[in-house]
Amino acid sequence: MARSFRGNPMIVTVTPNPAIDLTYQVAGIVPGGSHRVRPPLLRAGGKGINVARVLHGQGVPVRAVATAGGDTGTELAAGLGGIEHRLVPVGAATRRTIALVDQTDGETSIFNEFGASLLPAEWQALAAAVADELPGAAVLVGSGSLPEGAPADFYPGLVALARHAGIPAVVDASGGGLLSAASAGADLLKPNRAELLEATGERDLAAGARMLLRLGAHRVLVSNGAEGMLGFESGRPGQLSARLPQPLVGNPTGAGDAAVAGAASVLAAGELDLRVLLCRAAAWGSAAVLMPGAGEISPDWQELESDLIVEELS
């Protein structure tokens, strides 16, 4: 599976439930009040697109595959900035997310629209677009929630496409999507602590991760907030922990997507070692906390990576 021979290790990200993100700065939010606001910052969003944005910002070749529909779908295309992309046209309008940043205290209130259902033919078109992008790709990343009525085998289908292309599949999903991706033999899963416990029904992080490995996943990285990140691998008895000497202060929004981007960039270079994956994911995730906006990581990520305290726990 070594891919170091590839001249152009392109990462393909798939976002089954993208969104156009509208971020408003509000000078003091008064519940029940009327507020005058400047036009919002408009960005293409959804977890796979956010992963692509981080990779693009770091100069890693990446191509974002997503659906787009309606006038918000046109906005989505415009909001991708310079990210290479392939948008599969669908009938239903792309959903919005609305973020209201209260400038008086920095507190952000978020309103995420549910994604509209896709037609069966549209799910097929999305899968066909992914398959079409895989020749020449080094890694396939599938990220985020699924719209209502999604086929239960969507993430397993992505894992199968990656296996067919001979490249690793990374999945960042929650609930049934996480479990089904594990069962399909995903090369890397990256739930956060809450998602892991909710999906597996376990009370203990390590027990949850081990369940995903038993189901078929090869590696699991679990983000655990300020306590850092844990890595698990099938056939490896213990677990690896990576954390910074002291927790960072900043904006954790998008840190999980940055961690996935970090791990994907390592895989794209042909590296499968759990320690390397864990450290790069932890470093990029931490470097995202230092930046004000989601989708960016601090240029000091290498320093953060070298500061990591990595321990083998039994």
Contact, 137 vs 165, CB < 8 A? yes
How long a stretch of residues is the chain? 314
Q: How far apart are CA 191 and CA 217, in angstroms?
A: 12
Q: How far apart are CA 122 and CA 168, in angstroms?
A: 25
Q: How many CB atoms lie within 10 A of CB 148?
A: 11
Contact, 15 vs 83, CB < 8 A? no
Specify the stretch interacting with a copy of itself by CB under 8 A; choose among 93-101, 169-177, 181-189, 217-225: 93-101
Q: Is 117 a residue that touches a copy of itself (CB under 8 A)?
A: no
Q: How far apart are CA 45 and CA 67, in angstroms?
A: 12
Start-to-end Cα distance in the chain: 28
Q: Is 236 a residue that touches a copy of itself (CB under 8 A)?
A: no
> What DSSP element (H or E) covers 169?
strand 169-172
Choice from 84, 107, 227, 303 touching a copy of itself (CB under 8 A):
107
Choice from 31, 59, 201, 235 touching a copy of itself (CB under 8 A):
31
Non-local CB neighbours of 278 within 8 Å, separated by 6+ positions: 221, 229, 230, 231, 240, 242, 310
Q: Is 102 a residue that touches a copy of itself (CB under 8 A)?
A: yes
Which candidate in 172, 257, 273, 300 is catalytic? Answer: 257
Is 307 assigned a catalytic role?
no
Q: Is 100 a residue that touches a copy of itself (CB under 8 A)?
A: yes
Specify the stretch interacting with a copy of itself by CB under 8 A; choose among 95-103, 195-203, 230-238, 295-303: 95-103
Interface characters, 40-79, with a copy of itself (x: CB under 8 A): x------------------------------xx-xx--x-
Q: What does DSSP assign to residue 203?
A: S
Nearest approach in angstroms of CB 54 to a copy of itself is 21
Q: Is 34 a residue that touches a copy of itself (CB under 8 A)?
A: yes
Q: Is 270 a residue that touches a copy of itself (CB under 8 A)?
A: no
Q: Which residue numbers are catalytic? A: 257
Positions that interact with a copy of itself (CB under 8 A): 22, 24, 26, 29-40, 71-72, 74-75, 78, 93, 95-96, 98, 100, 102, 107-114, 116
